[in-house]
Amino acid sequence: MINYEDRGVSPHKPDVKNAIIGIDQGIFPNAFCKAIPDILCGSKDHCLLLHADGAGTKSSLAYIYYKENEDLNVFEGIAQDSLVMNLDDLLCVGAVDTFILSNTIGRNYKLINGEILKKIIFGYTKMIKLLEPYGIQIYNCGGETADIGDLTRTIIVDSVLATRILKKNFIDCSKVKANHDIIGLASFGKAVYEEEYNSGIGSNGLTAARHEILSSKYKEKYPESFAPEISNFCYTGKFNLNDKLPNTNLTIGKAILSPTRTYAPVIKEVLNKYKNSISAVFHNTGGGQTKCLNFGNNIKYIKNNLFPIPPIFKLIKENTSLSQYEMHRVFNMGHRMEIVCDPKVSLEIIKISEKYEVEARIVGKTELANNSSLTIITPDEVLEYIK
């Protein structure tokens, strides 16, 4: 069986965690994002957040899709991925209103032309405009595009968001409560603020998804799209980019490139109304469904009512060697955002989400326990994870 290290991905990053030991954790240690004192404005009531992340290896897929189909539009989605990977992390700590944005694009000048850059920059602008009517302001401070082919095989798109919020509005998920419901917000479907059906893939597990699913023909054709060190384990699947994804109108290529949905409009309204009844918000990125396990003490998370597995994850599950256990540790499997709340407000929160046509449901609950753990009960299997 192929594991993540074979493909050059350390799924739990022990060496990264080790490298940052001793680094100050800010005002709210072990929260979802690091908050620091408001040293820019000097307010004792506020904290600052500066968050950097990117679209990851999804841009490598956008590249081969563009080469195969001459479709530049997929790069708009990469800008969205890069932005939302930051924005939706910040939602988890209660930042929902006002952000400033910058980005870095690293490209191999021999392969990535100005038209692609234009599309990426347009993608940012489009996303900023899309969020405006919902009272979410993102101000673009510009960015840097570097020609660094000696470092970059194709293109890397990273973003950064800064914001400032009242400390009293900060959601500190290290204090997640027992006996709360876990509401899952669907990663798939079509929200009112989306143009087309979203597969739900997000921006995590893309190295696995690409190589597990796509055919070896891309290995021969696009050696620039993967690390040569993993060439024995790359593009081991059987599908072409333009094959249909069953039960959807999408091709497999488009489904894996589905831009990362933001939950900003939903979370903004939810927090405005029910902040005091919410003990944590989790963005299920790296770690997938097990992300919550990084947070809180003596909390047993039980998820027994996940969404039916969306078509893209079903395809991956049915056509790869990945176990259910691994799948849930890498992918969001159907909901990429979790709100942990007092059961009294669960139905109201679900209603708000559904207003935006983002499906939502109570996927599980939290319990007090001697040790932190996570149990996922699927129709086929019970999956147990410990901290």
Among residue numbers 38 through 57, which ones bind a second copy (CB under 8 A)? 39-41, 43, 48-54, 56-57
CA 59/CA 256 separation, integer angstroms: 11
Integer Cα distance of 174 and 87 in angstroms:
20
* Nearest distance, CB of residue 164 and a second copy, angstroms: 4
- Using the structure block, give the residue that is written with the tokens 């939706």: 88
Compare residues 248 and 320 and give the one whose CB is closer to a second copy.
Answer: 320
Residue of 28, 31, 32, 34 interacting with a second copy (CB under 8 A): 34
The stretch near a second copy (CB under 8 A) out of 23-31, 168-176, 264-272, 372-380 is 23-31
Sign, CA torsion 125/131/132/137: negative
Q: How far apart are the first and last CA of the chain?
A: 24
Q: How near is the Cβ of 116 to a second copy at its closest, in Å? A: 9
Among 26, 134, 135, 167, binds a second copy (CB under 8 A): 26
CB 281 within 8 A of CB 92: yes
Q: How far is the CB of 9 from a second copy (least distance, A)?
A: 5
Please, which residue, 163 or 248, has the CB nearer to a second copy? 163
How many binding residues for a second copy (CB under 8 A)? 82
- Residue 112 or 383: the one with the smaller Cβ distance to a second copy is 112
Task: State both tokens at 219.
Answer: 């290995």
Q: How many angstroms separate the CA atoms of 23 and 19, rounded?
A: 9
Closer to a second copy at the Cβ: 48 or 315?
Answer: 48
**Site residues for a second copy, window 112-141 (CB under 8 A)?**
113-114, 117-118, 121, 125, 137, 139-141
Closest CB 153 distance from a second copy, rounded Å: 6
The separation between CA 64 and the C-alpha centre of its own chain, rounded to angstroms, equals 21
Which residues ranging from 75 to 104 are in contact with a second copy (CB under 8 A)? 98, 100-104
Which of positions 175-214 make contact with a second copy (CB under 8 A)?
A: 207, 210
Query: Under rule CB under 8 A, which residues in 299-338 are in contact with a second copy?
Result: none
The stretch near a second copy (CB under 8 A) out of 162-170, 192-200, 243-251, 270-278 is 162-170
> Within positions 138 to 157, which residues make up the interface with a second copy, using CB under 8 A?
139-156
Let me know: does 364 contact 346? Beta carbons within 8 Å: no
Q: Rule CB under 8 A: is residue 160 a binding residue for a second copy? A: yes
Residue 23 as a binder of a second copy (CB under 8 A): the answer is: yes
Of 290, 287, 296, 270, the C-alpha closest to 31 is 296
Nearer to a second copy, 39 or 386 (CB): 39
Q: What is the 3-state secondary structure (H, E, C) of 93-151?
A: CCCCCEEEEEEEEEECCCCCCHHHHHHHHHHHHHHHHHHHHHCCEEEEEEEEEEECCCC
Residue 351 neighbours by CB distance under 10 Å = 10
Q: Which amino acid is at 224?
A: E
Instruction: Find the binding residues for a second copy in span 228-287 (CB under 8 A).
Output: 228-230
